[in-house]
Each structure stands twice: as structure tokens, then as C-alpha cells.
Amino acid sequence: MQNSGIEVLFEGSNFERLLGGLLVTIEISFVSIVIGTVLGIVMGLLRTLNVKPLQALLRLYLEAFRIIPILVWLYVVHFSFTPLLNIDISGETTSILVFSLWGAAEIGDIVRGALQSMPKHQEESGAALGLSRGQLYRYILIPQAIRRMVPGAINLATRMIKTTSLVVLIGVIEVVKIGQQIIELGVIKAPTASFWVYGFIFILYFAVCFPLSRISRRVERRWQN
Amino acid sequence: MINTGELLLEVEGLQKSFGERLVLSGIDLQVVKGEVTVILGPSGCGKSTLLRCLNGLEPVQGGRISYHGQDLAGPQVNWREVRQRIGMVFQNYELFSHMTVLDNILLGPLKVQKREPKEARQQAEQLLGRVGLLDRKDAYPRQLSGGQKQRIAIVRALCMNPEIMLFDEVTASLDPEMVREVLDVILGLAEQGMTMIIVTHEMGFAKSVGDRIVFMDQGSICEIAEPQQFFTQPATERAQHFLDIFQY
Ligand SMILES: Nc1ncnc2c1ncn2[C@@H]1O[C@H](COP(=O)(O)OP(=O)(O)OP(=O)(O)O)[C@@H](O)[C@H]1O
Ligand SMILES: [Mg+2]
């Protein structure tokens, strides 16, 4: 059989290395989503309180992440802040930091939106049945808020996973970087190596993000009111 | 049968304001067990607010509400306990949108009243059967018509075995062809002797269901009369004016 170039994926430990790279990608996204969700819930709750200066501040925070590209955030934190403050943190930690802060901003907005769009009469009709404050939250408000939040949160998670491809630019060895390394070595033997490697990475991203977006769609359809 | 029998609910000099604005200025009303009171009045006169005060959804600024002789206007009232005995159905469909019909109905009986699931479920199904919706017990609110939702909201309130039911314009946001099915349920309750306070804009219904009509205007009660009397010869000019608008 003619050398098609696909063997490059299975040469040595290439396959494991690529999966390992994907793991770094998933790890950064996952940790960031968890931290971002916790911080975001707090921020979302804070944003529903009517404290003007706090509102403005949190709004500004959200806009900062919406307006300034994540790549710039990564550069600023990695190449400016950490040397300036004379602390030594890895590219991966920097990435988690930036992604967590971004996640907090977006989750905060999702939580705020879910809480503020809750129809008042749902709460009142629960109260009219004699439910206590705690029961209202437990049986009505929180389940409904979660239903409103989940699609947005999953959407954010897929965006984050995709955006982690930027962290290669601050020196994190994740799946795309490993792909590049494999191509550099393999290209002499097989000129089509880049096709196979990037094709494989394409499939990896798809395999991670597609189920998420399917779940989100199903959940949305099931919960739509 | 005006004001004979056991006094269930007594309102005296009830005052309610939103900020500076006095919305209820001294309401006096007595409800006797088994009596159907229909409240009529122009939009904004305070009918909904009055009902909401009766089960503690709005804090009041003055006056007295007593229920079975128990004072309800104080700060240390156990509203949770009172609300179990006062059923309320609102104008907007307010079924819990994330729960099935049966779960909607059982939430109160199981979580608030801590009743035996099997027995509560039996009652829920029996009530659903009575309003002709037993086959919809596993549906979600979004799968139901407005009229169906309102009938289920009534069942949900009934399943708590309340002593009195408050209805706030329960047909106001329904398509005309669904009004009937909901009003029929309420008429059925009246026949069984349920004590009710009903706010409505359906004059024909008011006439046939009410033991008496309470006419409100601008935050106070202008007139209390038997339906026959009220619709033919209202005692006040304001009531006459109100009726004229409906009978053009
Ligand atoms: N939460 C609130 N805050 C401020 N004002 C209110 C509030 N709820 C009601 N009001 C005012 O109180 C007055 C009485 O309102 P209410 O809803 O009780 O009238 P209503 O008789 O039920 O009218 P409708 O027939 O239109 O339902 C209105 O002028 C209304 O604007
Ligand atoms: Mg009203």
C-alpha cells in the first residue's frame, strides 16, 4: 500500500500525545468552567441586588471580557502582569485564570438573566399554596432558574473549549501544539501529515463539542415553556 | 341567604397603600360560610389588591382581617398555615411550568400539608376527573389550553381542602370559547356549598353564581346587594354608571 500519511497518527506515541493534548484542552476548560460557574453564580446574585455602583462595576467587568479578545487577555496576563508582579506562574495556570474570569463574567450574566426573567406569579402562586421561603426556592425558583441557565451555560462551555486553542500562543502544550510538533517531524516522510493531523484534531474537537451542543438542544426542547 | 350562619371571614376598616397612594381606604366585609360573594367594580378600584390582602400576599397598613375569629392583620400571623385554608386562583395561568399537572396539584398537599401520597393522589385524580381533565394528568402546562390550565389551577387550590376560595378574574385572559368551561367548574363549586369570593367581569356569571354583589369603586365598597337588586336597581349612581358601560 502506498504511504498515505495517515500512519503519522500512529507512529511512536503520537496518538497518545494527541489525546494527552486534548486532555490539557479539556482540563483547562473544565477547571475554568467549574471556577467560573461558582464565581458566576455569586456575581449573578450580586447583579440582581439593586446596588448601583456594584452594578456598574460588574457590568464593566462583563463588557471587558466581551470587548477585549481573549487572546489579548492571555497576553496581558502572561506577558505583562506576571512579570510585573514578579510571580512565576505557568501558561496553563494563566490560561485557567483568564478562562475562569471570563466564565465568571458570562455565567454571571446568564444567572442574572435567569433570575430576572422569572415570572413573579410563579413565586406568588407557590406562596399562595402555603410553601415556605425555602420550599419556594427548592421546588420552584431554583429548578426553573436552572432550566433557563443550562442551554446558555453549555453554549459557553463549547465556546471555551474552542477558545482554548489560543493558549498555545502563551506556550501551553495542548492538542494543537502537539499536532504542530508531530507535523514538523513527520512532514519529511509524509508530506500529507498536516492533513491527517489537523483532520484528526478536527474530529477530536467535534467529538467533544458536538455532544454538548446536542445535549443543550435536547434539554432546551424538553424544558421549553 | 345574606349574612346568616357561621362567620368565616371578617374584614374591618382595611387600609392598603402602595407608597403614598391609598388603594384600599377602609374596607368592611363579612363572609359567611357557604356564601358566594361576587366583587364587581371598575378597573383599578382595588379588587385584586383586596383579595391579595386576604391571604397575605400584600401587607396591609391598617384595619383588621379575622378568619374564624383569628386576627390576621398582625405581624406574627402564620400565613403559611392560613393560606392552606384559603385557596386562591389568579387571572394569569400560574401553574408551575416545570411540573406536570399532577405534580402541580400535589406539591401543596405533599410538601406543605405533608399528606399521605396515595391518599392525596387519589383526591387529585378524583378532582381532575370532576373537571374532565383526568387524561391530562401527565401533561405539562405548555401542552394545555388556557381554559384547561385554569381548571387545573382551580383543582390545585381545591386539593388543599380550603375552607374558602378566592377567584381573581380567572377567565379574563381566556379566549371566549373557553370561558364557559371554567365558569361551569366554579358554578359546580357553588352548588356544593363552597364559600367563595369571586372577582369577575362576567356580568351574567356574577348574577347567576353570586349570593350577593359587592360593588367597589376607588378603593372602597359602595354597595352590597343581592344580584337581582343590584342588576336591576343599583342603589348608587356609581354602580348604575358601571352597569351602563356593560349594557350598551
Ligand atoms: N404592586 C403595586 N404597586 C403599586 N401600585 C399598585 C400595585 N398593585 C396595584 N396597584 C395599584 O392599585 C390600584 C388597585 O389595583 P388592583 O389591581 O387591585 O385593581 P383591580 O380592581 O383588580 O383592577 P382590574 O379590574 O384592572 O384587575 C391600581 O390603581 C393599581 O395601579
Ligand atoms: Mg385585578
Closest ligand 1 atom to residue B201 Cα is 25
- Taking the CA atoms of B130, B105, B49 and B148 in sequence, report the sign of the dihedral they define: negative
3-state SS, chain A, equals CCCCCHHHHCCCCHHHHHHHHHHHHHHHHHHHHHHHHHHHHHHHHHHHCCCHHHHHHHHHHHHHHHHCCHHHHHHHHHHHHHHHCCCCCCHHHHHHHHHHHHHHHHHHHHHHHHHHCCCHHHHHHHHHCCCCHHHHHHHHHHHHHHHHHHHHHHHHHHHHHHHHHHHHHHCCCCHHHHHHHHHHHHCCCCCCHHHHHHHHHHHHHHHHHHHHHHHHHHHHHHHCC
pLDDT at A1: 44
For residue B110, how many other CB atoms are within 10 A of its CB?
Answer: 16
For residue B160, how many other CB atoms are within 10 A of its CB?
Answer: 24
Residue A74 included in any domain: yes
Chain A contact set for B110 (CB, 8 A): none
Global pTM reads: 0.80
In A52-77, which positions are buried (b, 16+ CB within 10 angstroms) versus exposed (e)?
Answer: eeeeeebeeebeebeeeebeebbbeb
CA atoms within 13 A on the CB side of B153: 32
Pick the residue of B93, B95, B97 with the most A CBs within 10 A to test the interface with A by mutation.
Answer: B97
Q: Torsion angle of alpha carbons A183, A185, A189, A193, nearest 10°?
A: -10
Ligand 2 ion: residues within 5 Å (CB): B 48
Closest CA to B136 of B126, B127, B144: B144
For residue B67, list its beta bridge partners. B9, B70
pLDDT at B150: 93
Interface touch B97/A128, C-beta < 8 Å: no
Distant-in-sequence, close-in-space partners of A39: CB < 8 Å, separation ≥ 6? A100, A101, A103, A104, A107, A108
Residue A44 included in any domain: yes
Say if CB B37 and CB B190 are below 8 A apart.
Answer: no
Say if CB B211 and CB B2 are below 8 A apart.
Answer: yes
Chain A contact set for B155 (CB, 8 A): none
The three cell numbers of residue B184 are: 361551569
What CA–CA distances, in Å, run from B189 to A100, B90, B110, B131? 57, 17, 23, 11
For residue A23, how many other CB atoms are within 10 A of its CB?
Answer: 13
Residue A210 included in any domain: yes
pLDDT tens-digit series, residues B31-52: 999 999 999 999 999 999 999 9
pLDDT at B76: 74
Q: What is the spatial distance between Cα B199 and Cα B65, in angstroms, rounded to a whole number?
A: 19
pLDDT tens-digit series, residues B132-165: 999 999 999 989 999 999 999 999 999 999 999 9
Residue A137 included in any domain: yes
- Three-state SS at B112: helix
Low-confidence ranges of chain B (pLDDT < 50): 1-2
- In total, how many domains does chain A have? 1
For residue A2, how many other CB atoms are within 10 A of its CB?
Answer: 4
Q: Closest residue of A to B140, CA-based?
A: A225
pLDDT in tens, chain A (225 residues): 456 777 778 888 888 888 888 998 899 999 999 999 999 999 998 888 878 899 999 999 999 999 999 999 999 998 888 778 888 888 899 999 999 999 999 999 999 998 888 888 888 999 999 999 889 988 998 888 888 888 889 989 999 998 988 988 888 888 888 888 888 887 777 778 888 889 999 999 899 889 988 888 888 787 765
Has the ipTM of the complex gone over 0.95? no
pLDDT at A8: 79
Residue A1 included in any domain: no
Mutate to test the pocket of ligand 1, among B14, B17, B24, B48 (most ligand atoms within 8 A of CB): B48
- Phi/psi region, residue A134 (left: phi>0; alpha: psi -120 to 50; beta: rest), is alpha
Interface touch B92/A121, C-beta < 8 Å: yes
H or E stretch covering B127: helix B117-130
B192 C-beta closer than 6 A to ligand 1: no
pLDDT at B178: 87
For residue B196, list its beta bridge partners. B36, B165
Q: Look up the CATH number of the domain holding residue A197.
A: 1.10.3720.10
The three cell numbers of residue B217 are: 369603586
B92 C-beta closer than 6 A to ligand 1: no
Edge to edge, the sheet with strand B195-199 lists B86-89, B164-168, B195-199, B36-40, B212-217, B220-225
Q: What is the spatial distance between Cα B178 and Cα A119, in angstroms, rounded to a whole number?
A: 24
pLDDT at A53: 92
User: Which structural domain, as residue segments, surrounds residue A82?
Assistant: 6-222
Q: What length does chain A have?
A: 225
Chain B contact set for A135 (CB, 8 A): 111-112
Residue A77 included in any domain: yes
